[in-house]
Amino acid sequence: MSIETPELAYHERWERIKARFGSWGLTTYGILAFAFLYLPIVILILFSFNESRSVSKWTGFSLRWYGEMLKDDKIMISMWNSIFLAVVSTAIATVLGTLAALGLERYSFRGKTAVDSMFYLPVIIPDIAMAIMLLLFFNMSGIGFTPWKVSLFGVKLAVPYSVIIGHVAFNISFVAIVVRARLAQMDRTLEEAAQDLYANTWQTFRRVTLPMLMPGILGGALLAFTLSLDDFVITFFTSGAGFNTLPVRVFGMIKKGVTPKINALSTLMLAVSLSLVVISILLRTRSGDEESVQMGF
Amino acid sequence: MERLRRNPELQAWLLLAIPAAFLLIFFMAPLVIVFVYSFLERGKYGGVEWVFTLENIRRVFDPLYFKTFVRSFYIAIVTTLITLILGYPLAYYIANSPPSRRNALVFALMIPFWTNFLIRTYAWLTLLRTHTGLINVTLLNWGLIQKPLPLFGNDFAIILGLVYGWLPVMVLPIYAALERLDRSLLEAARDLYASSFYAFRRVTWPLSIPGVVAGSMLVFIPSLGAFVTPAILGGGKSLMIGNIISNQFLGAHDWPFGSALSMVMMIAMLIATLIYFRWTTSSEIAT
């Protein structure tokens, strides 16, 4: 389309050269940026296999620190605590967050802006502020922090209700945001069709809305689970004496002194996070081509 | 039942009752408690005396603590700027990759982000420590330096840790904005003989501003309230406001002062956010 004058041809060639160098430079930058993101993690994993106590001088390959980690009862208890806490708080937050998402996305009512903002606040508030808020609340209200001792089918459990409440409090909002995003994208004609076919509100919800919403709910649950497993600050401030999760244990270990045992534990936690990310990606891609929902009327 | 079906407002409240009540009790009430505690006197053995005072708020502005406040702001602003400078080209690179590679790159960005923050900070601890950190040990071994570099226990270490921790959070919203960008606009600019830089400045950049704003907020707020990073990489010397707050609860047992510090921190964040929003929306109109 361009008018062919020597000057313009020159200009265009110059632009093309610039574009090529630009994209080459951009790719180089991309590689460097990812190297920056990954190198510390790779080095961390590498030194979990170090033979000696050092995390900066490589002396030889060994699985010694993994063995020490598995033998450490405190670490193992913290691990079960972490998993228990994440499962319980995720279950509660997923149900409550989904209810909130439905209420906020599907209806308009007086005072909605205020309720809306309340559900966003826990996401943006810094975790240190939320942690001390909850600390004061549990203290002042007399609810306290001491985990309940429960015996379930002969298994003795310590239920850290204060930490569970703290985790649910921030996870409700995250679940609600993810589920709302899904609701906003959802095609409402299917629900209208169901109603036209004399399905009542509950049937429509159970047979149409819920199945279509499932990827969003699972995505929200997975996010909540990861956030709960990862949380350090809120757990640290809301757990009573004697209740430790893995991040709290890791923080304590770092404060005492650096050994490859921390690297080994980190590698284990990294593997868990990685598998959770993979699951979430698989969920998302599968739900992508499953837009059409089978309705089991 | 019939009334419920006819009344959407009632339906909404039925759905929202339990989650809203939960947040009211376990989030809003604690927030109010922190606010109230900021104006109370400190109890003898921790806790509070129910006597109104402005002493805590005054102490926040005492140079001793206010200095830390200013430093935390400085660290958070520098962190946000560096993540923006590093993150924008990365987002641009991902958005301009072939679609088949794009998802893989976003995935690659998510992995470090989903890795526990504490672990990522610890990774830098093993690299940066003055005498035993990998960087100094290696450089000394190679004879490139005579004395260990001051990489640890200072603002540099904290900013590096924060930039590393929050970079993906900056990249994702910018990427989302760039990916949505209508390419025909750029082609139109080029057809009208705009240079690539000019097209970027007048088309790409203004359209990516929402992503930049979102990313900056997502980095700035947790950086200002950082607790883990200065606790680990500050080496006990370099502290931020989050550490001072936690000290009031873990060490000093001065809850009212800790509450006052967090109140002022949250209000400062709110003001900074509002100024930033005002500023970006006005500059958006200017371009």
Within the 59-78 window of chain A, which residues sit less than 8 Å (CB to CB) from chain B?
none
Angstrom CA distances, B109 to A117, A164, A186, B15, B121, stand at 29, 29, 27, 36, 17
Architecture category of domain B59-286 in CATH: Orthogonal Bundle (1.10)
Provide the mean pLDDT of chain B.
89
Longest dimension (CA), chain A: 89
State mean pLDDT over A178-200: 87
Q: Which residues of A touch B110 (CB under 8 A)?
A: 277
pLDDT, tens only, B161-215: 999 999 999 999 999 999 888 778 877 887 787 777 888 888 889 889 989 999 9
State mean pLDDT over A261-285: 86
CB atoms A100 and B134 under 8 Å? no
The three-state DSSP-derived secondary structure of A133-201 is HHHHHHHHCCCCCCCEEEEECCEEEEECHHHHHHHHHHHHHHHHHHHHHHHHHCCCHHHHHHHHCCCCH
How large a percentage of chain B has pLDDT more than 90? 60
State mean pLDDT over A111-121: 91
To the nearest whole angstrom, how far is the Cα of B249 from the nearest Cα of chain A?
8
What is the residue extent of each domain of chain B? 59-286
Query: Residue B65, CB half-sphere, CA atoms under 13 Å: how many?
Result: 21
Q: Which of A43, A57, A100 sits opposite B137 (nearest CB)?
A: A57
Nearest residue of A to residue B242, measured between CA atoms: A128
pLDDT, tens only, B119-140: 999 999 999 998 889 999 899 9
State mean pLDDT over A60-86: 92
pLDDT given for residue A266 in this prediction: 95
Whole-angstrom Cα distance, residue B56 to residue B221?
Answer: 23
Q: Is the pLDDT of residue B141 over 80?
A: yes
State mean pLDDT over B67-76: 94
DSSP B153: S
Q: Is the pLDDT of residue A95 over 80?
A: yes
Within the 211-240 window of chain B, which residues sit less than 8 Å (CB to CB) from chain A?
217, 221-222, 224-228, 231-232
pLDDT, tens only, B16-39: 999 999 999 999 999 999 999 999
pLDDT, tens only, A207-223: 888 998 998 999 899 99
| Partner A contacted by B189 (CB < 8 A) | no
Q: Which residues of A touch B221 (CB under 8 A)?
A: 124, 126
pLDDT, tens only, B259-274: 999 999 999 999 998 8
Whole-angstrom Cα distance, residue B158 to residue B230?
Answer: 6
Better pLDDT: A165 or A289? A165
Q: Is the pLDDT of residue B255 over 80?
A: yes
Angstrom CA distances, B2 to A173, B8, B259, stand at 31, 11, 49
pLDDT given for residue B48 in this prediction: 86
Q: Which residues of A touch B249 (CB under 8 A)?
A: 132, 135, 237
| Partner A contacted by B246 (CB < 8 A) | yes
Q: Is the pLDDT of residue A156 over 70?
A: yes
| Nearest in space to B226 (alpha carbons), one of A266, A233, A231, A168 | A233
Under the banding of pLDDT at 50, 70 and 90, the label for residue A289 is very low
Q: What ipTM, to 2 d.p.?
A: 0.89
Nearest residue of A to residue B91, measured between CA atoms: A30
| Partner B contacted by A136 (CB < 8 A) | yes
Better pLDDT: A190 or A19? A190
What is the residue extent of each domain of chain A? 1-47, 66-288
Within the 199-238 window of chain A, which residues sit less than 8 Å (CB to CB) from chain B?
201, 226, 229-230, 232-233, 237
Under the banding of pLDDT at 50, 70 and 90, the label for residue A66 is very high
Architecture category of domain A66-288 in CATH: Orthogonal Bundle (1.10)
